[in-house]
Structure 1
Amino acid sequence: MRLLFTVLIIFLIPCILIGCSGSPGLNEGGVLSKEQVLKLNPNADIFEFDGKVYKTGIDWIEEEKLIKDKQIGEILEGMANKLPVSAKIFSLKERRDILIVEYNGKEKRYLLQVGE
């Protein structure tokens, strides 16, 4: 009985590890590409700035007290999938992994997308 249990464990552990490795960004330890972010969530509101992808709709960043610093850019054609061209991008005083985008009197917070 003990031998059967040991054999099952030896075969199950690799199966579990292989099954977990199919997640985009897993063990990549860096920023995710647009393709990886959209694979995880095809309806994600994203934009790319300085080669990094940022995504909105993350609850905890909406609750943070953040102070907008200076404008660092604006959305150009092809940079975003849901933002209008010429929306303004701002950095923050507190964090470097969150950017604020303003357009039409609205303000959205975007978090840098990184792999695990």
Structure 2
Amino acid sequence: MILFLFSLTGQLSIKQSHSPGEGMGGTLSKEQVLKGNPDADLFEFQGKVYKTGVNWIEERDLTKGEQIGVISGGMATKLPNGAKIFVPKERRDILIVSYKGKEKRYLLMLGE
């Protein structure tokens, strides 16, 4: 019985996968996010990384609040310079970026 449990435990531990930043807590770095997804659409703002492509943030009702910044050289992987960054009134972990008549939502990247 003990041998069976040992072999079962060994198989379970082999199948575990780890996400970037697992066990680190706090916010993820640009390098950590890109390691998990080299083609990620992200930007750095005030020392934190925000990434788009997270389905549930698109479904939230958010009101664009005040402008808090502008994308400039080296901040983003895909956004153009001059894109405006807004904070929604409802949440602080999501930012809204507006450019060329488009809006995109970006979620703060946190470790587990």
Question: Common fold, TM-score beyond 0.5?
Answer: yes
Structure 1 segment 7-86 matched on structure 2, within 5 A: 7-8=6-7, 12=10, 16=13, 20=16, 22-86=18-82
Task: Give the number of the structure whose alpha-carbon radius of gyration is greater.
Answer: 1
Paired residue type of 1:33: S
Give the structure 2 partner of residue 91 of structure 1: 87
Match of 1:110, SS state, is strand
Question: Equivalents in 2 of 1:27, 1:21: separation in Å?
Answer: 13
Question: Equivalents in 1 of 2:55, 2:90: separation in Å?
Answer: 18
Aligned CA distance change for structure 1 residues 66 and 7 (closer, same or farther; 3 Å):
closer
Unaligned runs of 5+ in 2: none
TM-score (norm 1): 0.87
Question: Equivalents in 1 of 2:50, 2:40: separation in Å?
Answer: 10
Number of matched pairs: 112
Unaligned runs of 5+ in 1: none
Question: Equivalents in 2 of 1:81, 1:49: separation in Å?
Answer: 12
% same residue: 63
Give the structure 2 partner of residue 4 of structure 1: 3
